[in-house]
Amino acid sequence: MEEKPKILEEMEQIREQALAALDQVNDLESLQNWRREMLGRSSAVMTVFSNIGIHPKEIRPMVGQIANQVKQALETALNERSLLVKEAALAHKLTSERLDVTLPGRRPVEGGLHPQTKVLRRIYAIFAEMGFQVYRSRDVESDEYNFELLNIPAYHPARDMWDTFHVDAPGQVLRTHTSPGQIHVMRENAPNPVRAILPGMCYRYEQISARSEIQFNQVEVVAVGRNITFADMKGTLKGFVRRLFNADVRTRLRPSYFPFTEPSAEMDVECFVCGGKGCSVCKGSGWLEILGCGMVHPTVLINGGYDPEVFSGFAAGMGPERISMLLHRIEDIRYFWGNDVRFLEQF
């Protein structure tokens, strides 16, 4: 029975040393350190529990009871000291930190419109002034509307211009352009005149780079009626560009090719960076391409429900991301959909 006094003496020393150390604790960090040192798995108290088997059987219950009492005493002291330390910390904070309630509050950070939403709304407003209505068409299109009815049959080499996403449903694709909306809006309004813009997201299976993305906005412009000419198209688009950029901007039309328009053209605007003198942005040409356009092909008019002998029309397609890049001199199209707050907050 010589073991009993020795255990009692050791446990009493552990308790006294721990409580003495606790009296010196004055902050929360030191309090956590004391808890790990005195009540952690490797602490002296917990070691007694793990080594209880080395004592004779007749005193093991007593050893466990004593160790448990010491553990409870330390935990009680810890809780009491925690309250005192927290109260002292709060009192220090209240006396050291001062708040002037007469100062105006800080305005919370507010979200804003996406830069592309702003540009799209600006485009809508300009065309609304010219009598165009906004028409929405679906993102998932049939091959027939996306290609066939736009004078792009299955064997046509022009299909290589659009790297297409095909969906599980047979004959269904993610639209590669907003041009299918031309057929929808014409069929809904034929034989009445049409004057509409068709904004929407387009999808192409392309290599993502600073100049190209797999998804992007596009705005289609279509006007169908009697005696619409190429001059009407030129005047409409020129008026749009002047409202969008500035009244003095120069424009030009270059011959091009699109299966659904004939004749076809591309419109350039004078480079804003160099003023037409030539720079790295315009690749030395002094001009920046902003849209493709042309007179609606007779086949497309027929597919839309119009007689090409009586009706004519023009169509144009523009990329708002490209327009934003020109307006704000943005060098990488990936910024628009990267959701980097540092970029978005600039707008």
Residues 242 and 177 in one domain: yes
Provide the pLDDT for residue 145. 92
194 within 8 A of 313, measured Cβ to Cβ = yes
Residues 55 and 120 in one domain: no
The last residue of a domain, from among 96, 124, 155: 96
| Residue found under tokens 């500035």 | 246
Residues 122 and 88 in one domain: no
| Residue found under tokens 């830069």 | 115
Residues 56 and 125 in one domain: no
Q: Is residue 175 included in any domain, yes or no? A: yes
From 216, 242, 231, 226, select the one nearest 317 (Cα to Cα).
Answer: 216
Other Cβ atoms less than 10 A from the Cβ of 37: the count is 13
Residues 229 and 276 in one domain: yes
Provide the pLDDT for residue 40. 79
Other Cβ atoms less than 10 A from the Cβ of 345: the count is 10
Secondary structure letter of residue 40 according to DSSP: S
pTM of the model: 0.65
Peptide bond into 180 cis (omega under 30): no
Provide the pLDDT for residue 280. 66
Q: How many Å apart are CA 195 and CA 27, to the nearest integer?
A: 74
Q: Is residue 105 included in any domain, yes or no? A: no
Residues 58-88: b if buried by 16+ CB within 10 A, e if exposed: ebeeebeebbeebbeebeebbeebeeebeee
DSSP 221-249: EEEEEET--HHHHHHHHHHHHHHHS-TT-
Stretch (H or E) spanning 100 = none
Q: Is residue 188 included in any domain, yes or no? A: yes
Please write the tens of the pLDDT for every residue from 93-102.
878 777 777 8
Which 3 state secondary structure label does DSSP give 122? Answer: helix
Q: Is residue 102 included in any domain, yes or no? A: no
Strand partners of residue 222: 196, 315
Q: Which stretches in the chain have pLDDT values below 50?
A: 1-4
Secondary structure letter of residue 105 according to DSSP: P
Which 3 state secondary structure label does DSSP give 272? Answer: coil
The last residue of a domain, from among 30, 63, 96: 96
Provide the pLDDT for residue 226. 94
**Which amino acid is residue 218, in one-letter code?**
Q
Provide the CATH number for the domain around residue 238. 3.30.930.10
Range of the domain at 8: 3-96
Provide the pLDDT for residue 141. 92
Q: Is residue 275 included in any domain, yes or no? A: yes
Which token pair is 292?
A: 């493709």
312 within 8 A of 227, measured Cβ to Cβ = yes
Residues 39 and 174 in one domain: no
Q: How many Å apart are CA 253 and CA 269, to the nearest integer?
A: 9
Provide the pLDDT for residue 334. 84
Count of the separate structural domains present in the chain: 2
Please write the tens of the pLDDT for every residue from 267-291.
988 877 677 777 766 777 888 888 9
DSSP 127-175: HHHTT-EE----SEEEHHHHTGGGT--TT-GGGGGS-PEE-SSTTEEE-
Provide the pLDDT for residue 111. 81
